[in-house]
Structure 1
């Protein structure tokens, strides 16, 4: 992992990263499960920071690299379908951008407000005294569906 002989907690602290949050995220990525017993010890702000950094990484580095590789891999003999393939990728990328923007503008500020005490943050559900806030929290679920189950809109290419 590039840590040489250093311990993970040492490297995390040197880079101003919460070691518990780092291990929590790594275990989630590797295993696909969340240990709910660890949730009370994990900083929601550390998770938000990780997600913001991952958004930046994907938008600035990973997606442009994928698009470049995709374009390079397309054969000139298939120029009839190449534009459709690129259009599909670009359409998907636009949905990802919208998803990231929603999180940056709505979800992350909400989590920060919860952490400051403006809202009551619970592990099973998000709650505030007003019904409007509960509707907003529930509505956030729909913003993950386009990414998980992407189906591009029909368009002429």
Structure 2
């Protein structure tokens, strides 16, 4: 099935006439993008452009998000995007929030509990408190986006001016990616041998995936959402 094109460095080249099934074959992690966009199976033989038309999304934005997830060190350029893409960006980011809150955090919380079954009570209480504090920080971070950043963007799309501009919103926006490293360090370096390696590895896989996904989420916000919002602000002379 590998009929997709690559560049001279053997990196996949995405295009809007590429079939969805070919896209997934390049990197099955891209299924998570389709899930968040509520793209329904089966795909049949539709192209990316056909799928985007069906789900009211520009192919340029969709391909940019795919490249963020599939291509290491990809730096998005928003020249091909417009303010009309902001609706879909917000929709995607909100879907990512639901994925983190409803799927990722509960799964990691369960993994923490499985690991702690083999720790003594004192050790378990320390690790549990550390993870619970981190999970609360993630929820607060996402809630800030839901209650401050996204409503501001939506009001801007509607032509409504706010005293608080995007730069101020982003300045108050904390980074939660690095905090995952602290959780990983505890699991790898400090839990006793009585905690089985296979349980730790299962948990670490989830933590690494979460960190990578949060980093991509942040990249979409800082390199796609924010520049488009700044452009809209300039149009309104804010």
Displacement after TM superposition at 1:24 (Å) = 1.8
> Where does structure 2 lack aligned partners over 5 or more consecutive residues?
1-23, 25-30, 32-42, 183-238
Displacement after TM superposition at 1:149 (Å) = 4.2
> Which residue does 1:139 correspond to in 2?
168
Displacement after TM superposition at 1:40 (Å) = 3.0
> Where does structure 1 lack aligned partners over 5 or more consecutive residues?
120-127, 153-157
> Which residue does 2:45 correspond to in 1?
5
> Which residue does 1:44 correspond to in 2?
86
1:12 and 1:19 in contact (8 A); partners too: yes
5 Å-filtered alignment, 1:7-156, equals 7-31=47-71, 32-40=74-82, 43-119=85-161, 132-134=163-165, 137-150=166-179
Higher relative contact order (CA 8 A, sep 6+): 2
Displacement after TM superposition at 1:95 (Å) = 0.9
2:116 and 2:124 in contact (8 A); partners too: yes
Displacement after TM superposition at 1:15 (Å) = 4.1
- Alignment partners' CA distance in 2, 1:133 and 1:146: 20
Q: CA RMSD in A?
A: 2.7
Distance verdict in 2 for CA 1:50–1:75, change over 3 Å: same
Structure 1 SS opposite 2:151: helix
2:52 and 2:58 in contact (8 A); partners too: yes
Displacement after TM superposition at 1:42 (Å) = 6.1
Distance verdict in 2 for CA 1:42–1:79, change over 3 Å: farther
Distance verdict in 2 for CA 1:13–1:82, change over 3 Å: farther
Distance verdict in 2 for CA 1:53–1:77, change over 3 Å: closer
TM-score normalised by the chain length of structure 2 = 0.50
TM-score normalised by the chain length of structure 1 = 0.71
Deviates more, 1:10-19 or 1:26-35: 10-19
